[in-house]
Chains A and B, each alone.
Chain A
């Protein structure tokens, strides 16, 4: 194998060198000035440009059409179709401009390739034309911006009051989630209380933290607004849900949030994609160290009744870790006692 690669490498080097020497010697022999404008290669380059362009267009069109289902992900949140509509309108605009400008450019290259007897047209400026192609892009951009900003403000704006609140914390190299429990209120947390067991640093002196629970997988109800309160424990991470078209960085020392309304359950997605192992996953999308590439967390979207059923079955964190809590009470007895009174 190495021998073959070596031989190929050697042969290609030899070809390049021969090409070089022969053209060099040929040009000396022909007494051609090294820079002569009249050059048989001129047409070759002009035509190659056009050929390259058409071949590229053919490949782009074919691939974009043929592989659409591979690169275009199903949409599983309420705002996803709105974002995608703007995406594809932008695509239509830019693709049109792309095709027109590239065609015109390579065509000009071919049409106006050097001919000795022709003289170029001295045409230093045309203010009307310049104003036209300044104003038209400006108008199109205003449209795209305006549309984008309306959607941006909706998506990033305050979440509905009835949103299901879940705390998500990123750490090297996994995600943890915490639900508020029956009292619908997340208890306090403090990074100084973090240890091997209490990975998010729940502060049990706050009574609303007593019923908080931390499941192994995130469950969320379909059709209800879901609010992620996002934290990071060590370095910056990013909560990315590609199917929801949702993303937000997780920053140590600065809580962030994002919300969305899921529109497809995991079961529905399994049917749609034909993949019975399909799962929504939070993937980390901000470089965070060695295992960045495998930092993910399963999210299960289910019907609301399933979600409520699941939620009611969850045991609170202190129920699962009674020893830890007992120890905590012992160490912080005065605080806890006051609160429990």
Chain B
């Protein structure tokens, strides 16, 4: 029976078997799903959960910094044993909070939550593939991330508290439980969690790379790929090359912690005892860590830049300016990101000559970054700009990318860094250029592709409200930190009351102000959450192509099923940026429309695009 049934089907149909309706159980559809769209949503929801945790932690330590005398006993049902008897946050808990805030935001939200969501969701849809190259590996990638999340979450509640050596976990502080209580069980779980996280990141990245290289639909040449895909591809390559180095750094640290080796430890006297470890190098860890750590900041920002490129072009109704330059700058940033790591270590005690080399390499990376910023602005020029919430967040991203990128010129120049290193200036710099900018890319992506994810529209007015509060809020939080940094205030300080007699007074008000802004901004995110979850079920039904966009994900049905396109995958006939082409009566020509159908608007250059 089976044989006769299939053999009667014409061959073409077999290729399109994906539109057959599979009856999936709840478990295979929503939990152990191998569908890239569902996995993307799983990453997104988990990322949102982590963002709330990370944001709440920042509110807590901003309370400590902005209102140092506040009695938090009222919060004790939630944070109970984190308080001192006076109702203040314990100094070690403060360190744990900043450590977990950094870890969560950098890895769990802006790496897994961002790349995991949009690489998964957009790569198959935008290059015209039925799914990822390996759906099973993709599923594993999410579940390793989930496991890693569980371990990290559990670590918050263990005896001694979570890891508290800063998100960079420099040994010996992170290696010796005698040095800080968070370096006990909390640190062990941190390392276990990160090892699982790295497995997840590698499974994901390998899949993204394979899919982009092998599964592009007919006509989708590399230079017809939307910039989102370029960004995801380079991000994945960075991940594959750098995450294993973090794994080895972590493994050596585990050995030092548990098996008595001396990779990072030497000549230490602590807690009344001279340790036997000799010959290790604490600087070695920093080199290994930042060999991942620096590409990591580009792993965080590149997907956001890709998303922004796509949205700015669509919403300006113009081709992205300098498409090829954008691609090359993504590659330039990607390559250079591997050779700048030691600019985090100018005053770590490494040879000053190395400092010179890394200064040069670091400032070179500013060039492709500048090109990107200029190209965004040039795209706006003489556009026809539609301020959707996604567009607002994209413009916000460009604004942050410029403001935060410029302060990199101070920190990247070794001699200026001597005084600014580890001050609030650094905090301001990376929270603007990496934190806020990537977060804005994440928001922009969610607002823009929500209709494709859930088949419904998000409420615009709430989107505007969310944007303006967050945009102004983020600047109010992070811009003032520059001043505090120039004044030489060190970061990771529990309190400044003991800091250089007579100087804290100048910034008490400013710190209170920053904390106030931070907490308001955090609360405003719940407007977004409400909008997100409410619109998922009750939002207005989305049209097929709500933003009149060119890329081929908008040719799928309102809610694409398993396999994405019910019929054949569309063939790609042109590049993705034919917006407002002269001669055409519409202001967009989707990628699957052949040139032969648009003789009125064809240009000589079209054949090479």
Contact = CB atoms under 8 A, between A and B. Distances in A.
Interface string A272-298: 010101110101111111111110100
B374 A16 contact: no
A93 B373 CA distance: 16
B457 A35 contact: yes
Given A67-B506, A108-B380, A155 B363 contact: no
Contacts of B486: 71-72
B487 interface: yes
B543 interface: yes
Interface string A227-244: 000100111101010110
A315 interface: no
Contacts of A304: none
A41 B492 CA distance: 42
Contacts of A245: 418-419
Nearest to A23: B461
B264 to A, nearest CB: 9
Contacts of A238: 347, 421-422
A125 interface: yes
A253 B267 contact: yes
Contacts of B464: 41, 44-45
B587 A120 contact: yes
Interface in B324-366: 324-325, 347-349, 352, 355-356, 359-360, 363-364, 366
A19 B266 contact: no
Interface residues of B, number: 133
A94 interface: yes
A246 B374 CA distance: 36
A132 to B, nearest CB: 9
A24 B540 contact: yes
B546 A35 contact: yes
Contacts of B418: 83, 155, 245-247
Contacts of A171: 269
Contacts of B587: 119-120
Interface in B51-92: 74, 91-92
Interface in B1-34: none
Given A70-B507, A122-B319, A234 B270 contact: yes
Contacts of B324: 125
A125 B325 CA distance: 9
Contacts of B268: 191, 233-234, 252-253
Nearest to A291: B91
A137 to B, nearest CB: 4
A271 to B, nearest CB: 14
Contact of B321 (A44, A60, A125, A134): A125
Contacts of B479: 60
Given A83-B416, A283-B500, A98 B356 contact: no
A124 B462 contact: no
B147 interface: no
B348 A249 contact: yes
B593 interface: no
B221 interface: no
A66 to B, nearest CB: 11
A52 interface: yes
Interface in B550-609: 577, 579-582, 587, 605
Interface in B445-482: 457, 459-462, 464-465, 468, 471-472, 475, 479-480
Interface string B410-446: 1001111011011100000000000000000000000
B356 A153 contact: yes
Contact of B422 (A192, A235, A277, A285): A285
Given A122-B581, A191-B267, A293 B91 contact: yes
Given A67-B506, A253-B279, 4 more contacts: A87-B416, A101-B402, A114-B384, A277-B502
18 contacts: A35-B388, A67-B483, A71-B484, A90-B413, A114-B386, A130-B325, A133-B374, A134-B370, A137-B370, A144-B409, A153-B352, A153-B356, A233-B270, A242-B487, A252-B267, A286-B422, A287-B165, A290-B91
